[in-house]
């Protein structure tokens, strides 16, 4: 069995290796994002999960489309606060390059 010290060293090395790989693969100045680098379906799922996690009922009225890492929010919102949080949640998702807010207030019944 490995000692605590050996496990820490291994964890540190693994983290540094992972960070190095991410740095090599991450887009930077002068690099274009290839189609493979933009997982639109995964971004859409992540945004929907975040919105539904914060607003289970209101989130069902918001539609999410992603095209080339740009998220478009459509549908209606119950309050301006819900709309702001949906946009904020979308911006926090990894690899999102932009968020378009096309939501409108829900009609009053």
Q: What's the domain range around 83?
A: 34-109
User: How much is the pLDDT for 35?
Assistant: 52
* Alpha-carbon span 72 to 18, nearest angstrom: 31
Q: What is the largest CA-CA distance in the chain?
A: 65
Judgement on whether residues 50 and 19 belong to the same structural domain of the protein: no
Judgement on whether residues 61 and 102 belong to the same structural domain of the protein: yes
pTM across the whole model: 0.65
Judgement on whether residues 20 and 47 belong to the same structural domain of the protein: no
Cβ contact 105:76 at 8 Å? yes
Question: What DSSP character marks residue 93?
Answer: S
Per residue in 76-97, pLDDT tens?
999 999 999 999 999 999 999 9
* Alpha-carbon span 87 to 50, nearest angstrom: 11
Query: How distant is the alpha carbon of residue 78 from its chain centre?
Result: 22
At residue 103, does pLDDT exceed 70?
A: yes
Per residue in 9-61, pLDDT tens?
544 444 434 444 444 444 544 445 555 688 999 999 999 999 999 989 888 99
User: How much is the pLDDT for 2?
Assistant: 59
Judgement on whether residues 25 and 53 belong to the same structural domain of the protein: no
Judgement on whether residues 8 and 43 belong to the same structural domain of the protein: no
User: How much is the pLDDT for 15?
Assistant: 40
Judgement on whether residues 102 and 67 belong to the same structural domain of the protein: yes
Q: Per-residue confidence at 6, pLDDT binned at 50, 70, 90?
A: low
Judgement on whether residues 58 and 70 belong to the same structural domain of the protein: yes
């Amino acid at each position: 069995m490995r000692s605590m010290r050996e496990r820490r060293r291994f964890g540190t090395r693994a983290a540094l290796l992972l960070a190095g790989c991410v740095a090599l693969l991450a887009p930077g100045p002068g690099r274009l994002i290839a189609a493979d680098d933009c997982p639109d379906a995964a971004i859409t799922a992540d945004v929907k999960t975040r919105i539904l996690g914060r607003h289970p009922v209101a989130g069902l009225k918001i539609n999410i489309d992603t095209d080339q890492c740009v998220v478009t929010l459509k549908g209606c919102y119950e309050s301006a606060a819900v709309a702001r949080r949906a946009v904020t949640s979308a911006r926090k998702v990894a690899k999102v390059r932009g968020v378009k807010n096309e939501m409108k207030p829900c009609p009053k019944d």
